[in-house]
Structure 1
Amino acid sequence: MTITTSIPSARRVRRLPDRETSDRLALHDLLDAELVGHLAVAVDGVPVVVPMGYARVGGHVVMHGSTGGGFALRAASARTPVVFAVTALDGLVYARSLFDSSMNYRSATVQGVLEIVPDDEADAALLALSERLMPGRTAEVRAMRRKEVAATRVLRLPLDDVVMKQRAGGPSEEEGDGEDHSTWAGVVPLERRWGAPVPSGLTPAGAPVPESVIALTTRASPSATLDEASARTA
């Protein structure tokens, strides 16, 4: 499945172009597995990069900011092009030379213009973002107050102009490459897991750990998809 057919050639992968992929499902897997991306924009001629929590909702990356300011909201209002980047490190590749050593990874850069989510869609998009970051937590806490909603602006970036690059597998090696094969070479995978919950200072001793936290910390991976939410709010 093709991500887009309109990416200018200047933004195509030049070095090791065989690692570029246009597989839409691979893109969704990456975006659904990660929690933080980096949003970049030029502000008064100076590049600014900020890490932001996000969710993929259908064909968009959704994030939120304050109505009181922030470069993301200003960029959306001014229709300034931005770039949003997400990277997953899957392992380190140990070759028999430092030059040939590498990483296994998946990365995507999305270029476009941020959109302010319309008011009639903002609540659903904000709920999808919350459920992506802390699944099930919404049902355990109080509803957002009107003042809090008014102070929050939901933004989205369409997944129309995307370049994705990835590497998997072991080091490059051949039987007759002249290397000393008694030197170990291979891959050290990187695995992630959630740690034991730590209660806040004002949480009473013995307070039960909520179901959302138990579910999160017992999952094998931080990844989760929002396909159902995507279908509702795209």
Structure 2
Amino acid sequence: LVLARSAYNHSVNYRSVMLLGRARLIADPAEKETRLKNFVEGMFPGRWDRLRPMTAYEAKATTVLAIEINEASAKIRSGPPGDPDEDLMQDVWAGVLPLETRTLPPIPDARGSVATPPEYLTRFKIG
């Protein structure tokens, strides 16, 4: 969070991406399963093969879309407040209050039989 010397100049440091293209429905069951597997494996390598197979109901209830990216743009805001020079003499604290997203230790489901988290959870990182 970026705190300036005036309310007008308060801001947020961020990263944003916009992807433009045409989405298409993945209707083929084999392709749908492959894409879902790639999604899960991309976050938690080794997990897909330990999961029970999807039921017919779950497969039908899950929509998978693919998008061919035609255009992309990114916006990034970083750094200190953008106060004008005349505000720099104000007796007000200004600066950046950093925030972070992080993982905490895994909490196992009390109803389960496997209490020790798998290795891919201890390696999981955000960002």
- Residue matched to 1:200: 109
C-alpha RMSD of matched pairs (Å): 2.7
2:120 to 195, 212, 226: 212
- Residue matched to 1:124: 34
Map Cα deviations across residues 161-208 of structure 1 (whole Å, 9 max, x no partner): 33432211111246x53532553211112211112222213124x732
1:102 to 2, 7, 11: 11
TM-score, normalised via structure 2 length:
0.76
Give the unaligned 5+ runs of structure 2.
none
What CA distance in whole angstroms lies between the structure 2 residues aligned with 1:197 and 1:178? 46
Offset at 1:157? 2.0
- Residue matched to 2:48: 138
- Residue matched to 1:162: 72
What CA distance in whole angstroms lies between the structure 1 residues aligned with 2:70 and 2:87? 45
CA spacing shift, 1:186–1:121, aligned 2, 3 Å: same
Q: Which has the higher contact order (CA 8 A, sep 6+)?
A: 2
- Residue matched to 1:57: none
TM-score, normalised via structure 1 length:
0.45
What CA distance in whole angstroms lies between the structure 1 residues aligned with 2:50 and 2:118? 8
What CA distance in whole angstroms lies between the structure 2 residues aligned with 1:187 and 1:93? 5
Offset at 1:160? 1.4
Offset at 1:104? 0.6
CA contact (8 A) 2:5 2:87 kept: no
Map Cα deviations across residues 121-141 of structure 1 (whole Å, 9 max, x no partner): 333221111123444321332
Map Cα deviations across residues 101-125 of structure 1 (whole Å, 9 max, x no partner): 1111112233433212363533322
1:186 to 68, 81, 95: 95
Q: Once the two structures are aligned, what percentage of the paired residues are identical? A: 33
SS of the equivalent of 2:37 reads helix
Larger radius of gyration: 2
After superposing the two structures, state which structure 1 stretch, 186-195 or 142-151, moved more: 142-151
CA spacing shift, 1:173–1:99, aligned 2, 3 Å: closer
CA spacing shift, 1:141–1:197, aligned 2, 3 Å: same
What CA distance in whole angstroms lies between the structure 2 residues aligned with 1:190 and 1:131? 28
What CA distance in whole angstroms lies between the structure 2 residues aligned with 1:191 and 1:116? 35
SS of the equivalent of 1:193 reads coil
